[in-house]
């Protein structure tokens, strides 16, 4: 019988007659009141942290019946960004700034957003408020992010992203093992709905869907997951996340496109990292910027590799 590596905890309860009629959210809140508020429990249920009789339950108001079995795995609502240090500055000149964005920072410039990457930038670089993003990274995605300092140079750089001459390389940990070692994913993507008040992208025929192309290559296989290198050839919103979900291999930790309850390896953010960006500089020609895999990513890799090598089973109970 294989030994078990416990990577997270699932709480489990069975409802008796005295507890019949209690809403699911109220019941769970009673059990975890020392660590979670009612509001956070409700959010976690809506994000897929609860099962009722073996099936995902997204409504905290559902009434419980005698014999019902509840399973609940608390997940973090947000990830606290690591300290943004001078070492996060990958490149700077009079025209361009390239940084290694840590997960948890948004790329919004609003002063009301306390997680905006512009907050630490303002503290380190004068007039950072005037810098213009050349591309975007999701809040939970880490890695290379480029900004232009001079508005007169904005078009020079944005044309490279628009014409797909700017080259990007991402790395991701995904659930399962893709059938092909390397392949090209081609889809037409459009907004197919909302989840957590965020637009969710998925397959949509043209002209409503926009063509998305991503090349991937498996770099490492684990027992229940894979480490991929990804090269997006287009720049659609949530492109990599949506395309990997479409082929049945969502990114570990992705609560929007994956199932947070069934994650192979629990993570408080999506394991997606923008590792490299290559663009043309007006005076230096083609130039590449690279950001190493962050510690939380390496930690997940180590756990997956350990379970794979030792033959141990990853279990979330």
Which residues carry out catalysis? 138
Residue 186 and residue 212 in contact, taking contact as beta carbons nearer than 8 Å: yes
Closest CA to 28 of 51, 54, 7, 9: 51
Please classify residue 13 by burial: count the beta carbons closer than 10 Å to its beta carbon, then call 0-12 exposed, 13-18 middle and 19+ buried. middle
Does residue 279 have a cis bond before it (omega within 30 degrees)? no
Residue 146 and residue 279 in contact, taking contact as beta carbons nearer than 8 Å: yes
SS3 of 9-68: the string is: CCEEEECCHHHCCCEHHHHHHHHCCCCCCHHHHHHHHHCCCEEECCEECCCCCCECCCCC
Please classify residue 80 by burial: count the beta carbons closer than 10 Å to its beta carbon, then call 0-12 exposed, 13-18 middle and 19+ buried. exposed
DSSP 8-state assignment for residue 301: H
Residue 189 and residue 203 in contact, taking contact as beta carbons nearer than 8 Å: yes
Residue 116 and residue 126 in contact, taking contact as beta carbons nearer than 8 Å: no
Q: Which helix (H) or strand (E) holds 124?
A: helix 118-124
End-to-end Cα spacing for the chain: 16
Dist CA 64 CA 21 (whole Å): 5
């Amino acid at each position: 019988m294989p030994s078990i590596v416990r990577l997270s905890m699932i709480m489990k309860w069975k409802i008796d007659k005295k507890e019949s009629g209690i809403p699911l959210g109220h019941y769970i809140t009673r059990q975890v009141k020392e660590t979670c508020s009612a509001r956070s429990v409700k959010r976690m249920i809506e994000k897929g942290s609860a099962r009722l009789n073996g099936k995902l339950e997204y409504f905290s108001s559902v009434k419980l019946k005698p014999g019902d079995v509840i399973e609940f795995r608390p997940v973090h609502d947000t990830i606290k960004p690591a300290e943004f240090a001078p070492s996060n500055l990958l490149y700077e000149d009079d025209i361009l700034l390239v940084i290694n964005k840590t997960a948890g920072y948004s790329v919004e410039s609003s002063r009301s957003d306390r997680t905006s990457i512009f907050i630490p930038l303002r503290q380190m670089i004068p007039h950072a408020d005037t810098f213009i993003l050349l591309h975007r990274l999701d809040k939970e995605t880490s890695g290379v992010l480029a900004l232009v300092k001079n508005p007169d140079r904005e078009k020079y750089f944005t044309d490279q992203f628009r014409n797909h001459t700017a080259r990007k390389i991402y790395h991701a940990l995904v659930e399962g093992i893709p059938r092909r070692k390397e392949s090209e994913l081609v889809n037409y993507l459009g907004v197919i709905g909302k989840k957590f008040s965020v637009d969710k992208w998925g397959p949509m025929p043209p002209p409503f869907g926009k063509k998305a192309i991503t090349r991937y290559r498996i770099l490492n296989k684990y027992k229940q997951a894979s480490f991929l290198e990804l090269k997006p050839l287009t720049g659609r919103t949530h492109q990599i996340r949506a395309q990997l979900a479409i082929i049945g291999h969502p990114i570990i930790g992705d609560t929007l496109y994956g199932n947070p309850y069934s994650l192979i390896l629990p993570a408080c953010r999506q394991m997606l990292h923008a590792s490299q960006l290559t663009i043309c500089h007006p005076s230096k020609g083609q130039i590449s910027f690279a950001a190493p895999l962050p510690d939380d990513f390496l930690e997940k890799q180590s756990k997956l590799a350990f379970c794979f090598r030792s033959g141990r089973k990853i279990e979330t109970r």
